[in-house]
Structure 1
Amino acid sequence: MASNRIAAGTGIEGLDSNQLTGPRGIFVDVNLDLYVADGDNNRVQLYQSGEPNGITVAGSTSLTPTITLRLPTGVILDAEKYLFIVDLGNDRIVASGLNGFRCLVGCYVKGVKSNQLNNPFSLSFDRSGNLFVADQINSRIQKFVLMNDSF
């Protein structure tokens, strides 16, 4: 039998730094830090390895709020340590950069065109740095080739 423990949250929903409400997506980086798309709290929490309290790194309750999220469902860190977030409620993908966050795909316009999303749910990168997004309502997986000036 495997042993287990709670890695983030208390088991009781809430908005405090040690609580989550409706966590959807997670990502663990090479330092064993845990990023959580805390969907119903409209934020992304960073739980540094071994720490019970999270730090809001994206969302209106972060220390430097540069992005407002609505039901984030996916989160991933790329090789250059840029944070990518699926912002389901705003039908977009946002990414961190040198000057805060910015929209990469969707950008508040829901739709079926190749540069639009409708209820994006998760994302991933391949070895070449291409971004793949599960575009739920459009019943497709979108592939985006990101340019260096995307950040």
Structure 2
Amino acid sequence: MKKKKNVFIDGAISADFIAESIAKHQTKTNIGAHNIFLGQVRADEVEGNKVTAIEYTTYHEMAEKKLEEIREKAFEKYELTCMHIYHSLGTIKAGEICFFVFISSKRRKQVYAATEELVNLVKEEVPIFGKEIFENEEHQWKVNTH
């Protein structure tokens, strides 16, 4: 089993954090392919109101347990070298990164398939909740779509 890491980050995920994550893998010469998914807060318009931010919350214990299950299944199904999942908590402004998945393997086909499946499983099964905050300061719970 791979080493467990902290998945949740307070605030937006910075470009520096993403770059450092990539740079750390340059010494791992058994990797032939990386794939990255970045989820960004959109300025959606809902009933004439523009989203300015999303406030993310979670049930840590439940979310971490589910994420560990997803990780284990992915390592069993795909020939992965490593996998990193990070999700923001707190208020993330439109345009900022809130979800970062970084998967590595010896071969590219493995990372493509694993990334798509993993992102979908996290969005569908992990108890992370987003409250959309609008320009007029109203808010509502976000409904995930594909």
Q: Same fold by TM-score, threshold 0.5 exceeded?
A: no
More RCO (CA 8 Å, sep 6+)? 2
**Structure with the bigger percentage of helix:** 2
Shorter-chain TM-score tier: under 0.3
- So what's the TM-score if we normalise by structure 1? 0.27
